[in-house]
Amino acid sequence: MNNSYYRQKNQALLTACLNHTEDQTSEVQVLELLHAALSKSVKGQSTRPSPPLYTWLAAEDLGGDQAWIPLLAVASACFYAAADLYDDIQDRDHQQPVIAASSPAQAINIANLLLMASQRALPALPLPPETRLQLLDLFTTTGQTMSLGQFFDIHSTNLNTLDIPPEQIIPRKAGAEF
């Protein structure tokens, strides 16, 4: 999937999720950084499928009216890209596209926008209210688990000691929940 196809396919959904301001210049800059974060995380550098693809495939297996699948995939992509970007910021990965194009401080803002876009998309899903609440709970619990894993990873790295065995940290790291 090339970058322009990805942008064209998801632009309307991202715009709906973010509810942009009237400042067109800033909006374009923010969208460029959002696309950079999503492109890196969604396409990734590994050979395994990305989390949004897993979301899409799992949702298709449920059958029925599937008009909501793209919005759930965008919510998943935004959530995963935010977690991935936070990890890159914490690891001081200056080759990360958003950090390279702006700064670590702006990358935090972009990660926050991605996270909020994910949270905004979930209640908009045309699913029963109890299902939307379950998804919100799943995303929240996943975020808490990943944050705790990141905390232990950074704590162990900074102290140069492993108070907690790696096999307990790795499953909690950003992206591991997907």
**What secondary structure letter does DSSP report for 175?**
T
Give the C-alpha separation, 115 to 85, whole Å: 10
How does pLDDT run across 72-123, given as a tens digit for each residue?
Answer: 878 888 888 888 889 889 888 888 888 888 889 988 988 999 899 888 888 8
For residue 156, the model assigns a pLDDT of: 75
State residue 157 phi and psi, 5-degree precision.
-65, -45
Q: What is the pLDDT of residues 11-59, one digit of tens each?
A: 555 555 555 444 444 555 555 666 666 666 544 454 444 566 666 666 6
> What pLDDT is recorded for position 70?
77
List pLDDT tens digits, range 117-156: 888 888 888 888 998 898 899 889 988 888 888 887 787 7
